[in-house]
Structure 1
């Protein structure tokens, strides 16, 4: 039976029930959801995802093309079925079976109700990928983000069909990324092809067919048992279990070899460990000398970690040495360390065990925003502008305008007060006076004509002038960094271990090439 295709490998053109989907609210805010139809819940519209941008029902997310903008729905999640549940609890507490039967018979049949569209709020439904999963996965440890694992995959030359060892799986971000990279088909679906003899014109010709191809696989090791079990459940639910093997093991002591003779047979190694140099004694093609293992393990500069409370011992001589590396290809390794002291210890251990071309890189991934910066008081109140402080002349003129407006304001207030007093005196004498506010608009306009421009007037004037100005040509080009990119400080150490050249290989080469 063919395995179910993982949505991380081929999500298909449309979303479907009982599969993983990603609801993208903002660029850096994504929510993973397993879509379910209405049959798996007591509500007709299915489960509901409540966000700050509105409520989204699963029924509105199923059978939609990936990338669709989904509008929020109006769903009363607070009172749906609340009354019947309360009556059920009360009946169960009394222990009256007859009353329970009456209540159950009174319950109306489940009606198919379609959620109505809300007036605002939307989100985008995107397929699950290692990039989107890295931004929304449940964090159990610090994760390897996309800028880091993209560079690691490129630098280690990981390709489809390779086997990779990952030590320190953690939250599984790197596991999903490399599983997609090494995938070149599911194992067990292709029959191996053998050699056969074919007779042509009386001559027997041996026709050699292509052997069964090597399928890519990820061998992931995790020291913490609960994290290993949670990651195994996630990998199974995502349909990646045929490509990923999760092992709960202390690789410092027990190494990387498995019961299967063809596993791990690794081409690439990634170590995300507190002390990666303690695991290098297991990553050799032949058993290392005990003196070398002892010198690496007993170095006084080795920091104390949760795995290295005691001095590691070299592998036991009674147990035959088994190399987890692919003997037919060059093996490349990458270690992920947050401190430079860890890098120093790792590089020293790599040199002791024969690793070559050792390099160290650090990544700082930032997004640049290129725009034009317009500066000056003429840009006051305009969007995308940066008004500068005023000059001395502009500041003095601004103070004069404020004082002039204050004088006019106080003069109008004084005149208004005198008018009120005259009206009160005329009322005492019994004379008829005009009511307040009956002053003509022309008189008001004459009184305020000589006023200096206010801030509102200046903003309106700048807005009108900007309509006829080529703003895209004005200002100077500036570059600003965006600090919200998710990444962290890390030192990546890369090295390679070539194929071992034995005495038999040397003798064979001498016979062939003289």
Structure 2
């Protein structure tokens, strides 16, 4: 999917070439997008990495610096691109994106209309979902933002699957050229209810719509407007809770039994977060799972609907 050259296939099962976009994985919280250029170097705390050493290696390779440090060269999948792209606007993350693609019933060959483009996080995943024969037409009212998104899709090899246009969909609606052509419509607008009539016009028979809104008041008004032209109206809030799993060594602090009744003496052991575990061994290590402290909460509400069929 992600060679800079538009003629290359949408595949990661190949060697890295000069001009390719790769995701340099330093650690879980540190990744960056780098365009491979022979003669260039990447410098970080792990050392100096020559781009020329990357050319010819497979995506996923582990490469070393001159001082022995290493990084991984990963293919820029939509999931990873979402984590490293430039935030020109608030973006959708994987939990919402996967939900959108599933409930909009997007499959290869679909025609999808999106407004607005923003940073292109969702657009990238939509393009993969419709590949190789579908197409995503995405609109943004901000000309500079649209141009930057267009450049990103060129870098990630999606130009043949995505068309970026400048248009105020909220004020003007979708172009008449798309009447009855779209399988799905996605809206990320301040006042999505203004675009509902236009969305109904461009959707095919039994087409689906999704509107993303951060506030419940927006959802209420959108749902009221949807009732005239759409059916099967549902709203979801997707909350993702991530867990960290690691081995913990317990510190024995007191005895809870002396074994006088024939039982094995037990120790009460304290975890690093203050919780306690009972153990009969003074040197036990346990695998602990606890929620990550930086887990994202509410991002927004997703409202889905299906266009009514009038006979």
1:325 aligns with 2:203: yes
Please report how far the alpha carbon of residue 163 of structure 1 lies from its aligned counterpart in structure 2 after TM superposition.
0.7
- In the other structure, the counterpart of 1:499 is 309
Aligned mate of 1:361, from 233, 236, 250: 236
1:245 aligns with 2:194: no
- In the other structure, the counterpart of 2:197 is 281
Q: 2: distance between equivalents of 1:275 and 1:149?
A: 21
1:10 to 1:486, Cα distance in 2 relative to 1, 3 A: farther
The residue correspondences of 1:378-457 to structure 2 (distance < 5 A) are 385-386=271-272
After the TM superposition, which of the residue ranges 489-498 and 230-239 deviates more from structure 2? 230-239
- In the other structure, the counterpart of 2:7 is 4
Aligned mate of 1:144, from 88, 92, 95: 92
**Cα pair 1:222 1:250 within 8 Å, conserved:** yes
Q: 2: distance between equivalents of 1:387 and 1:10?
A: 44
Aligned mate of 1:118, from 67, 74, 93: 67
Q: 1: distance between equivalents of 2:270 and 2:70?
A: 27
Q: 1: distance between equivalents of 2:309 and 2:57?
A: 50
Q: 1: distance between equivalents of 2:180 and 2:50?
A: 44
Aligned mate of 2:62, from 64, 69, 74: 69
1:20 aligns with 2:13: no
Matched positions, count: 288
SS at match of 2:48: strand
Which sections of structure 2, spanning at least 5 residues, go unmatched?
256-268, 276-280
Aligned mate of 1:346, from 222, 227, 252: 222
TM-score calculated relative to the size of structure 1: 0.52
1:24 to 1:158, Cα distance in 2 relative to 1, 3 A: same
Q: 1: distance between equivalents of 2:206 and 2:109?
A: 14
1:27 to 1:487, Cα distance in 2 relative to 1, 3 A: farther
1:387 to 1:166, Cα distance in 2 relative to 1, 3 A: closer
1:160 aligns with 2:108: yes
Which sections of structure 1, spanning at least 5 residues, go unmatched?
38-45, 73-116, 185-214, 285-322, 390-464, 502-514
Q: 2: distance between equivalents of 1:164 and 1:497?
A: 15
- In the other structure, the counterpart of 1:489 is 299
Q: 1: distance between equivalents of 2:274 and 2:241?
A: 28
**Radius of gyration: which is bigger?**
1
Please report how far the alpha carbon of residue 384 of structure 1 lies from its aligned counterpart in structure 2 after TM superposition.
8.8
Q: 1: distance between equivalents of 2:127 and 2:180?
A: 14
Name the Cα RMSD after superposition. 2.8
Please report how far the alpha carbon of residue 483 of structure 1 lies from its aligned counterpart in structure 2 after TM superposition.
3.1
